[in-house]
Amino acid sequence: MNIKTVSKTFKNPLYLKSGRILEPYTLTYETYGNLNSNKSNVIVVCHALTGSHHAAGKYTPEERKSGWWDALIGPDKTIDTNKYFVICVNTLGSCFGSTGPMSQEYPSSKQYRLKFPVITISDMVKAQKILFNELEIYSVKAVIGGSMGGMQVLSFATEYPNFAEHYISLAATHATTPWTIAFNKIARESIIKDPKFNNGEYDQEDIKKNGFSGLATARMSGFISYLSPKSMQNKFSRKYVLQDGLYQLFGKYEVERYLDYNGNNFVSWFDPLSYLYITKAINIFDLSLGFDSLQDSLKRVSSSLHLISFKSDCLFFPKEMQEIKSAMDEIGKANLCTYLDVDSEYGHDSFLVETEKFNSYIQNILS
Residues flagged as binding site for substrate: 219, 349
Measured between alpha carbons, how far is 309 from 350 in angstroms, rounded to an integer? 9
Residues flagged as binding site: 219, 349
Identity of the amino acid at 173: T
Handedness of CA 350, 352, 353, 358 (dihedral sign): positive
Helix 121-134 with 148-159: angle, nearest 10 deg: 70
CA 151 remoteness from chain centre = 8
Catalytic residue check, 360: no
Confirm if 87 and 149 have CB atoms less than 8 A apart. no
Confirm if 33 and 42 have CB atoms less than 8 A apart. no
CA 123 remoteness from chain centre = 14
Confirm if 49 and 279 have CB atoms less than 8 A apart. yes
Number of residues written out for the chain? 367
* Active-site option among 123, 194, 271, 313: 313
Catalytic residue check, 147: yes
**End-to-end CA distance of the chain, in Å?**
21
Catalytic residue check, 194: no
* Active-site option among 147, 225, 297, 344: 147
Measured between alpha carbons, how far is 326 from 93 in angstroms, rounded to an integer? 33
Measured between alpha carbons, how far is 276 from 1 in angstroms, rounded to an integer? 34
Measured between alpha carbons, how far is 272 from 206 in angstroms, rounded to an integer? 13
Alpha helices in the chain (DSSP H): 121-134, 148-159, 178-193, 204-210, 213-226, 229-236, 254-267, 272-284, 294-298, 318-330, 350-353, 359-366
Which residues are catalytically annotated?
147, 313, 348
